[in-house]
Amino acid sequence: MTAKINVLDNGYVRLVDAMGTDLTPVNAARVSYAKESQVLTERDVRLIKFLARENHTSPFRHAIAQFEVYAPLMVARQWFKYIVGSAHQEGTGDSLDAWNESSRRYITEEPVFYVPAADEWRSAPENSKQGSGDVVPLPLGASLSADLVEYIDDGISRYEEALKLGICAEQARLFLPAYGMYVRWYWTASLQSVAHFLAQRLEHDAQVEIQAYAKAVLSLIEARFPVSIGELLTKKEDAE
Q: Do 167 and 130 contact (CB within 8 A), yes or no?
A: no
Same structural domain, 12 and 94: yes
Count other Cβ atoms within 10 Å, centred on residue 233: 18
Same structural domain, 32 and 84: yes
Query: Of 14, 61, 173, 201, which residue is the catalytic one?
Result: 201
Concatenate the DSSP letters of all residues of 163-184 into one string: HHTT--HHHHGGGS--TTBEEE
Please report the pLDDT score of residue 99 as a whole number: 80
pLDDT tens, position by position, 105-115: 666 678 899 99
Same structural domain, 94 and 54: yes
Residue at 67 is within a domain: yes
Concatenate the DSSP letters of all residues of 206-237 into one string: S-HHHHHHHHHHHHHHHHHSHHHHHHHHHHHH
Question: For residues 121 and 127, what is the distance between their CA atoms, to the nearest angstrom?
Answer: 18
Same structural domain, 94 and 189: yes
**Count: domains in the chain:** 2
Please report the pLDDT score of residue 88 as a whole number: 44
201 is catalytic: yes
Question: For residues 134 and 143, what is the distance between their CA atoms, to the nearest angstrom?
Answer: 17
Same structural domain, 150 and 47: no
Same structural domain, 33 and 135: no
Please report the pLDDT score of residue 122 as a whole number: 94
Q: Do 65 and 188 contact (CB within 8 A), yes or no?
A: yes
Same structural domain, 41 and 8: yes
Structural domain boundaries enclosing 212:
4-105+182-239
- Name the residue type at position 189: A
Spatial CA neighbour of 224 closest among 2, 12, 19, 6 = 19
Q: Do 193 and 92 contact (CB within 8 A), yes or no?
A: yes
Spatial CA neighbour of 177 closest among 114, 130, 109, 132 = 114
Please report the pLDDT score of residue 131 as a whole number: 78
Same structural domain, 129 and 174: yes
Give me the residues of the chain with pLDDT under 50, please. 88-92, 240
Residue at 111 is within a domain: no
Please report the pLDDT score of residue 187 as a whole number: 94
The CATH number linked to 89 is 3.30.1360.170
Q: Do 145 and 117 contact (CB within 8 A), yes or no?
A: yes
- Last residue within a domain, chosen from 179, 201, 218: 179
Residue at 110 is within a domain: no
